[in-house]
């Protein structure tokens, strides 16, 4: 009996929300889980925002000509709204809600914690959208390359592009994250380079923050990190772990 804690889960770039079996380890411990599809990616959610111009393949430059139309402006709002939906469910204790995700999902976890006071804990794995300009400069592959490809075709839009992206860059929002936070980073990561994550981590407003370094990993996670994440989420939420 009684209200249960909750976790909002955000997925990686171009993916979809984790399926129920993937979320079972949390649900089996009595945690309510909400997994969000990012609009127009590989899930069931569409994007009905009308934009005035095209963009390079992917979502990094979708609407970048205007901050009001930028794709990630809406995705960040979706991430916060997902938290509100989770907290509004009957039987969910809105004071015990955490956020987590990998890559894009790790970035959205930080964004949700920056833009909402709902989360009591963040576990952000190898987060994307951190120090985006640095990522565009040094990442040899992955979504950051979309921006350099776009600017190669539209050099006159460089100033506007950086101005728009600055609104969603987690480097600029990090000081608003004040709840306990764990961030992971792979030192061989060539999609979300470690330098982008380090800079954002240093700016986190939380006084209780931890950076877990995987010295030999690329854009991936060890099994052990997955175990640690599960235990940390349960402990932070005060969930009673099954023996």
Positions annotated as catalytic residues are 103, 189, 219
Residue 45: in which H helix or E strand, if any? none
Contacts of 226 (CB under 8 A, 6+ apart): none
d(CA 131, CA 146): 15
Torsion of CA 232, 233, 237, 239, to 10 degrees: -90
Helices of type H across 44-188: 71-88, 104-115, 132-138, 144-153, 158-166, 170-173
**Residue owning tokens 């987060």:** 127
Strand locations in the chain (E): 4-10, 32-36, 92-102, 121-125, 181-186, 209-214
Secondary element (H or E) of residue 22: helix 20-27
């Amino acid at each position: 009996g009684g209200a249960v804690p909750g976790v909002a889960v955000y997925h990686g770039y171009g993916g979809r929300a984790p399926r129920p079996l993937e979320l079972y380890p949390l649900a089996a411990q009595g945690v309510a889980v909400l997994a969000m599809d990012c609009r127009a990616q590989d899930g069931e959610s569409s994007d009905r925002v009308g934009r005035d111009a095209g963009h390079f393949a992917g979502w990094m430059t979708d609407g970048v000509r205007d901050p009001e139309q930028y794709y990630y402006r809406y995705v960040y709002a979706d991430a916060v709204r997902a938290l509100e939906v989770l907290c509004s469910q009957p039987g969910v204790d809105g004071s015990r809600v955490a956020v987590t995700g990998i890559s894009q999902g790790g970035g959205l976890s930080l964004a949700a914690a920056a833009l909402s006071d709902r989360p009591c804990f963040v576990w952000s794995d190898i987060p994307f959208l951190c120090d985006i300009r640095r990522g565009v400069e040094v990442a040899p592959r992955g979504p950051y390359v979309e921006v350099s490809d776009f600017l190669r075709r539209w050099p006159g839009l460089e100033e506007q592009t950086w101005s728009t992206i600055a609104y969603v860059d987690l480097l600029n929002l990090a000081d608003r994250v004040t709840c306990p936070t764990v961030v992971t980073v792979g030192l061989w990561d060539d999609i979300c380079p470690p330098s982008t994550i380090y800079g954002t981590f240093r700016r986190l407003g939380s006084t209780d923050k931890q950076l877990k370094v995987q010295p030999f990993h690329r854009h991936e996670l060890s099994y052990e990190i997955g175990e640690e994440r599960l235990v940390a989420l349960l402990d932070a939420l005060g969930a009673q772990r099954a023996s």
